[in-house]
Amino acid sequence: MQMVCLRNIPFLDADSLAHCEAREALFRDQHGFLLYLSKNGSSASNEERIIRLEAREALIWLNEGALEQGSFWV
C-alpha cells in the first residue's frame, strides 16, 4: 500500500466552537484506492472512516479546491 496524498482540514466544532482539525489520506493498493478520514473534535470521541474509491473518485478528491475539501465526510 502506498500513500498518495495527505491533507489536514481545519474546522470549527459545532458544539463548542473550538478550532479542530480533520485528516484525510489517500492510499493506493493493488485493488484501487482507499480514503482514510479522521476527525478529532473537542469531545473525547474521535471519528474515523475508510472508504474504497474508484479512480475517478480519487481524482475528484485530489483536485478538490480549498472550499470543497471535506466533501467526503457527508
Q: Give me the amino acid identity at 69.
A: Q
Identify the DSSP state of 49: E
| Residue 73 forms part of a structural domain | no
What's the domain range around 32?
2-67
User: In sequence order, which residues have a C-beta less than 8 Å from that of residue 12 and are 6 or more positions away?
Assistant: 18, 19, 20
Task: Supply the pLDDT for residue 6.
Answer: 92
| Residue 72 forms part of a structural domain | no
In tens, the pLDDT along 27-69 reads: 999 999 999 998 876 555 678 889 999 999 999 999 887 767 7
Res 74 pLDDT > 60: no
| Residue 74 forms part of a structural domain | no
Domain count of the fold of the chain: 1
Q: Count how many Cα atoms sit within 13 Å of the Cα of residue 72 in the half-sphere of its side chain.
A: 27
- What is the rounded distance in angstroms from the CA atom of residue 37 to the CA atom of residue 5? 12
| Residue 58 forms part of a structural domain | yes
| Residue 45 forms part of a structural domain | yes
